[in-house]
Amino acid sequence: MKLLRFGATGSEKPGLLDNNGDIRDLSGEVADIAGEALSDKVLAKLREIDPHSLPLVDGTARIGPCVGHVGKFICIGLNYADHAAEAGMELPAEPVIFLKATSAICGPNDTVEIPRGAVKTDWEVELGVVIGKAAKYVSEEDALGHVTGYCVVNDVSERDFQLHRSGQWVKGKSADTFGPIGPWLVTRDEVPDPHNLSMYLEVNGHRYQDGSTRTMHFGVAKVISYLSQFMSLQPGDIISTGTPPGVGMGQTPPVYLKPGDRLETGVEGLGVQRQTVSAG
């Protein structure tokens, strides 16, 4: 299934994408695409519903973040072998973990705002993993059973804040609109191998990133198991698993976002995001 949320910011309703590409209103079945609604039990009930029996949503409706009430937005750094090479850095012995503020989350087609004082705002297409079942000290063998599905994430990053303003990376990752997610949460049964998905990102029609999850250093099961040794993972938590090469910082000379730029970001089978950049 492809689950989504639609409507005005802060007032999104749960929805489902039918086989014609139309949005169907799920608000009569679940309160939101969040929490318990992400469990295998609830998803099994939703699969039994004929999508065409649900109310049709106006095709002009805004698409919101595909998961509501996200508790943690966890990111994995330097997790693609070819991106680490691009950055001139060695692959880490253990996953590099940082957090992105949940207030950065926005819809897949919402405007991306360059924050005040920013001079090096960059892009990163990533595979997002959505937790559907609480995980604590889980094994790699059991880890994928805690995944409800996958989504597209653009880990928008202000490199000057991230690298030159002291401390950890969080301040360069957490500005409002720096976390577009969606358009859909694609349930795990429709993604048999998350490690074999093509992914890309274009700026103004130029393809800068053109990679694959095949070059991921630590796979999804490893990342979930590893994270669960340090913190419990809860339904609705999102893990952004790293980016392939082609980020703006890696260009010669570097290329960074400016107001008016248009972004297109996609992961195979998970949909496409399209944003315009503005000054915040």
Q: What is the pLDDT of residues 171-211, one digit of tens each?
A: 999 999 999 999 999 999 999 999 999 999 999 999 999 99
Mean pLDDT (whole number) for 203-229? 97
Give the CATH number of the domain where residue 186 resides: 3.90.850.10
Q: DSSP H helical segments within the chain, as ranges?
A: 40-47, 81-87, 140-143, 159-164, 220-227
Q: Tell me the residue type at 273.
A: Q
Residue 269 is predicted with a pLDDT of 98
Could you tell me if residue 195 is inside a domain? yes
143 domain-assigned: yes
Cα gap 102→136, rounded to integer Å: 21
- pLDDT band (50, 70, 90) for residue 87: confident
Query: Total domain count for the chain?
Result: 1
* Residue 62 domain-assigned (yes or no): no
Res. 86: pLDDT tops 80: no
This prediction's pTM:
0.96
pLDDT at 167: 76
Q: In this predicted structure, what is the pLDDT of residue 89?
A: 74
Q: How confident is the model at residue 157, as a pLDDT?
A: 96
Position 216 scores a pLDDT of 95
102-140 pLDDT per residue, tens: 999 999 999 999 999 999 999 999 999 999 999 999 999
Domain that holds residue 109: 68-279
Q: What is the mean pLDDT of residues 161-176?
A: 88
Residue 131 lies in a domain: yes
The arrangement of strands across the sheet holding 271-279 comes to 112-114, 271-279, 262-267, 198-203, 206-212
Residue 10 falls inside a structural domain = no
* Mean pLDDT value of segment 214-229: 97
* 23 domain-assigned: no
Residue 223 in any domain: the answer is yes
Across 67-86, average pLDDT: 91
Residue 38 lies in a domain: no
The residues near 193 (Cβ < 8 Å, ≥ 6 apart) are none
Cα separation of 248 and 23, whole Å? 34
Token output for 179: 């976390």
Query: pLDDT, tens digit, for every residue of 44-73?
Result: 999 999 999 999 999 999 999 999 999 999
User: Does residue 220 have a pLDDT over 90?
Assistant: yes
- Report the DSSP beta bridge partners of residue 114: 279
Q: What is the pLDDT of residue 168?
A: 80
